[in-house]
Structure 1
Amino acid sequence: MSRPQTKEALTLLIENNYDDLKGLIESSSLEEQESHFQFFKDDKLKETHYKRDENLKDVLVHLYEWQCLLLSFIKALREDKNTQVSFLPAGYTWKTYPKMNQAIKEKHQKTTLEEAKRYLDDTHEKVLNEIECLTEESLFEKGHFKAINNTTLLLYVTANTSSHYVFAYKKYKKHLKERKAHGIKE
């Protein structure tokens, strides 16, 4: 799918991808939602997230925390478009963010699946509200914000909403297929 060119198209993409994810989750049993991913220890899957996320809750808190980062980033940019704020929290870089992702998982070990769902619903709505307050220029023009001079805010928004929802959808769908392939019933 091509990148959205308007706020309306962006909002629609985000909502559609979120609805797809929520629909997949809601169409599965609570046992499926709470079960450990079957591919968690699969050595053939090299991506870090396959080793990190053990269950749906881990995926949802990952999305939630990244949306919290996005909301903080947007707030800082809206307060001063010339700010040099970093998207990532202090102590992390784009080379070390996998450590941050692991810290997110560890932070949420006592978070329940139901809490994770509520947290994500909350940040999802907050992000949509922030998008509504942004101008088309602030979302789509390169160089509109000093902190992201070489790219657009759209990139950060889509990476932490619609694209992240697709990532989560595919991962959870893979989990459900793996359960079925191994003969695990609800």
Structure 2
Amino acid sequence: MHLEDKGKQPNFEQKPFMILALRPFHYMLLLLSFIIVAFGQPAWEPWLAFVSSLFGYALFWRVLLDLPSGKQRFWLSTAWFGGVQAVQISWMLMHPYSYIYAIHPLICLLLGLQAGLFGLLVKPENIQKLYRVIGMAGAWTLLEWSRLFFLSGYTWNPVGIALTSSVYALQGASLFGVFGLSFWVILVNALALRAWINRPAKRP
């Protein structure tokens, strides 16, 4: 596996807050992935939505691979994805009644917690094994499907929506539904991350 040298790893043990121990490389990935995924909606920027479906999430998961504990991956994933949802479903704030200002952040938090659970799976040993990568995509799809039974049956904004920016990719929805598209988006991003960390090391 081609990850950063151990000597260059951020020292999380000496920092009270995980975010303070991240290096500029991590901050760059966090910002870039957030912009790509949050604004990569077919209704806003179709080309950016396509980029998001290819490696937008992989950029964020690369940061998670350097976090040593599940708790750190959980909370960073929760905050990042909750922020993404805050942007993507900001249209809800146009509701005429003020209670929406309490409902909107609550929904973002709950959706963020879903990503937090998934973040527990983003570990080098899981990314290295193909069958685990497929299992991770299946786990995300099950988490999205489970929204039908809680969150008041919240079905909006699955990650597979990004693929609807392409007429050709959209045809997959007629065969596998939007959850099938979500499975594909997560699988492709996980494979992109796998290819990234397994790239040949540069020879001096």
Say whether the fold is shared (TM-score over 0.5).
no
Normalised to the residue count of structure 2, the TM-score between the two structures is 0.30
